[in-house]
Structure 1
Amino acid sequence: MRGKIGLVVGLGVGYVLGTRAGRARYEQIKTQAERVWALEPVQKQVGKAKGFMQASAMAVPRIAWNGVVKVVRTTTASGATPGQKLDAAIDEVEDAAEDIRKATS
């Protein structure tokens, strides 16, 4: 789906930038794009994207930082062999990655 949307947007931008029809055609395309942007379904999706980004923008750095702290604590713990520390660090990284996936879905 993203690929199709990207293709359409890319074709549109390429057409606008590459057209030889002049300023009048550019203004016509711009007006039509503004109409589409103002449509209720488009604005509804924009609102969802903004809400998602605001929620994720605060959660992801905190979760990532907590994951880094856990990995550092695991690798600096005494009484474990280097292999055990590596295995524990890998487990912590996988847990942190899963936490980030959950926060962004």
Structure 2
Amino acid sequence: MRYKVTFMLGVAVGYVVGTRAGRERYEQMKKSARDLAQNPAVRNAAETAGHTGRAFAGKAFAAVGDKVGGVVPPSLAGRVRGLRDRVGGGGGGAEDEWGTSNT
């Protein structure tokens, strides 16, 4: 119960502070967030993390698949195959559906 009250108090304080800051401050924070997201270093770090996560998921699937045999549902197996193709299949710098390069 204490955590719910603390959470609600935080929401209320955030709302009051946000409404007092106004639209101009909101637009300023929105622009800062957009600039950060478009920063090449941030984009490269996010892309690298995505590739690493996909590679790890493929390895984990293979390790679990070896242990459980043919019990893995076909829908899951298809998704993991798709992830492997995205990681292993080189796009040669082509952009994916998110607008990031696959380099």
Q: TM-score, normalised by structure 1?
A: 0.43
Q: Considering Cα pairs closer than 8 Å and 6+ residues apart, tell me whether 1 or 2 has the greater RCO.
A: 1
Whose Rg is larger?
A: 1
Structure number with the higher helix fraction is 1
Q: TM-score, normalised by structure 2?
A: 0.44
